[in-house]
Amino acid sequence: MPYFIFLVIFVVLPLLLILIYALQDGAGHFTLKNIAKFFSDGDSLSTFALSIEVAIENTALCILIGYPAAWILANKDLNRSAVTVVLFILPMWINALMRTLATAELFTMAGIQLGKGTLLFGMCYDYLPFMIYPIYNVLNKMDKSYAEAAQDLGATPGEVFRKVTLPLSMPGIMSGVMMVFMPTVSTFAISEFLTNNKIKLFGTIIQENINNSMWNYGAALSLIMLIIIGITTFLQGGDSEEAVSGGAI
Amino acid sequence: MMKTSTKLLSRIYIWLILIILYAPIVFIAVFSFTEAKSLGNWTGFSMNLYKNLFTGSMQNSSALLSAVENTLLIALIASLLATMLGTVAAIGIYNMKGRAKNVMTFLNNIPMINPDIITGVSLFLLFVFLRISQGYTTVILAHITFCTPYVVLNVLPKLSQMNPNIYEAALDLGATPGQALRKVMIPALRPGMISGFILSFTMSLDDFAVTFFTRGTIGLDTLSTYIYADARKGGLTPELKPLMTILFLIILVVLLVINIRQSKNNDKK
């Protein structure tokens, strides 16, 4: 099957190469030095911790802002037009770097110092559609009769939401988290623009190492990231693609 | 029935988010009508940036225009090839059973879960390892890699909706496998192929990280890498503003037309 061969060459082999390069020194000998270097390098470690922190905050922010929006969009009483939904995903079609630059410029114009606050705002701005869309999809396809039944059986609106709607929309939230969390850890250009290079995220140091021909250390950093992706995917159970695949537009 | 206050509140909420979401885009559009070099600097209304863009009379105009050309060409080629590969792959995966099917589904999911930078770095290492010099071809191959899984994912549900007997009926009635594929399979799968293609095209257009790592050192630029390099040098090419405004308007119109037509179709059903 040709696609199998394609996937092996362009997906499996490259990932194996990350592992191989991570465990080699410049001359091609086996070594654990690259991994050890990461754990003994204060800069890398603090960048890593900061990236995870920003990613967690950004993901939480996206859920807090995005969930109500998705809920309103999916509610037939509150929103009857499909155009509003299109308006929410439309910014994704504009070059992300250009939008980010404009956001940073807006902050500067408003006299707000570029730093962690602007970083979070800008990240949230960039990734919000990726959170809203899967949640909206799940809520939209959800069988409304469950919520109605709970209501008939005497649940208050708050209870209906907590015990029926929210649990049923978990797959949407999970795939939203997938689409926001890891990309936040790994962005490089966006964080550079939004903080005027003051704050480095993990993606930036991977990029710097690879571009300065320090492939082995760059690969080691990528490997650490891969391990985290593996862990989050495993925790999440991996059946999130249903929410994403529900139509492209 | 919802209370009117809830309705009002939710409307305000939605519009507030939309306003924030669109602020930077509107910002670019507004400042495309002035001549100032940096964003946010208003020096009076002028259409000069638009004029420069169309007549090509600006600094390094050829670099910007070739970046636009590369972006569109790469997106078109990569998403066409990804659509073909993904459709064939989806048919294959659909007909698999048990273990093989699980393995393929798992492998197909990897590029979708991987962040761009991992895809970029891993493919960069692949091309270094295989001693393939990087440029146009490697960028297109990389884009096919991260687009195809989405095509597979969009075509698979259409396969399960299809009546499998139709294909065999076509064969029984004397169609060659090729004819049956062209006249029976493809029409049934078309909606999935189209949404897979559109998704691939837009992802390829917007990609930065993967292109960044796989374009090599021959000076190949797409719009994203051009903007990145430009911003790092300090000072964006001012003509990017009208360019972005025009692109935005085209996308807006296309998406609205598609959606209005879609909802009309749904009404008919």
ipTM: 0.81
Alpha carbons A65 and A81: distance in angstroms, whole number: 20
Please tell me which of A197-201, B117-121, B214-218 the model is most confident about, judged by mean pLDDT: B117-121
Q: What is the mean pLDDT of residues B187-192?
A: 88
Higher pLDDT, B114 or A81: B114
**pLDDT for residue B183 is more than 50:** yes
Provide, as residue numbers in chain B, all residues whose Cβ is less than 8 Å from the Cβ of A105. Answer: 24, 27, 38-40
- In degrees, rounded to 5, the angle at the alpha carbon of residue A7 between the alpha carbons of residues A4 and A13 is 120
Cβ atoms of A191 and A200 closer than 8 Å: yes
Per CB-CB distance under 8 Å, the chain A contacts of B214 are none
Q: Residue A241 and residue B110: Cβ atoms within 8 Å?
A: no
The pLDDT of residue A247 is 38
- CATH number for B63-237 (one of 1.10.3720.10, 2.40.33.10, 3.10.129.10, 3.40.50.300): it is 1.10.3720.10
Contact A186 B252 (CB under 8 A): no
Closest CA to A203 of A227, A231, A226, A222: A222
Task: Identify whether the C-beta of residue A216 lies closer than 8 Å to the C-beta of residue A21.
Answer: yes
Q: Does residue B223 surpass a pLDDT of 50?
A: yes
Q: Is A187 left (phi over 0), alpha (psi -120 to 50) or beta?
A: beta
Q: Are B192 and B155 in contact (CB under 8 A)?
A: yes
Tell me, what's the pLDDT at B266?
65
- Smallest Cβ–Cβ distance between A182 and the set B1, B115, B256 belongs to B115
Task: Identify the residue with better confidence: B40 or A16.
Answer: A16
What residues pair up with B34 in beta bridges, in sequence order?
B45
pLDDT digits (tens, 9 = 90+) for B137-160: 999 999 999 999 999 988 988 888
Residue B250 has pLDDT above 60, yes or no: yes
Q: Which residues of B touch A218 (CB under 8 A)?
A: 121
The pLDDT of residue A64 is 94
User: How far is the alpha carbon of A135 from chain B, nearest alpha carbon, in Å?
Assistant: 15
Give the confidence band of B219 by pLDDT, cuts at 50, 70, 90.
Answer: confident
Residue B78 near residue B144 (C-beta atoms within 8 A) = yes
Specify burial of residue B5 (Cβ count, 10 A radius: 0-12, 13-18, 19+). Answer: exposed
Token pair listed for A85:
């939904």
Residues of chain B with C-beta less than 8 angstroms from the C-beta of A106? 23-24, 27, 40
Alpha-carbon distance of A166 to A67, in angstroms, equals: 10
Widest distance between CA atoms in chain A: 71
The verdict on a CB contact (< 8 Å) between A210 and B213 is yes
User: Which chain A residues are within 8 Å of B244, Cβ to Cβ?
Assistant: 94-95, 98
Give domain limits for chain B: 63-237
How would residue B40 be classed by pLDDT, with cut points 50, 70 and 90? low
Higher pLDDT pick, A23 / B75: B75
Residue B194 Cα distances to A149, B79, B182, angstroms: 38, 10, 15
- What integer is the mean pLDDT of B201-210? 89
Q: CA-to-CA distance for A158 and B176, rounded, in angstroms? A: 60
d(CA A204, nearest CA chain B) in Å: 10
Yes or no, beta carbons of A17 and B129 under 8 Å apart? yes
What amino acid occupies position A161? Answer: F
Q: Which pLDDT value is given to residue B59?
A: 65
Output the average pLDDT for chain B. 85
With pLDDT > 70 as the criterion, what percentage of chain B qualifies? 93
Are B37 and B238 in contact by the 8 Å Cβ rule? The answer is: yes
Closest-CA distance, B9 to chain A, in angstroms, reads 10
Given CB atoms, is B132 within the 8 Å cutoff of chain A?
A: no
- Report, as ranges of residue numbers, the positions in chain A whose pLDDT lies below 50: 238-249
Q: Are A121 and A100 in contact (CB under 8 A)?
A: no
Query: pTM for the full model?
Result: 0.84
Decide if A78 and B7 are in contact by the 8 Å CB cutoff: yes
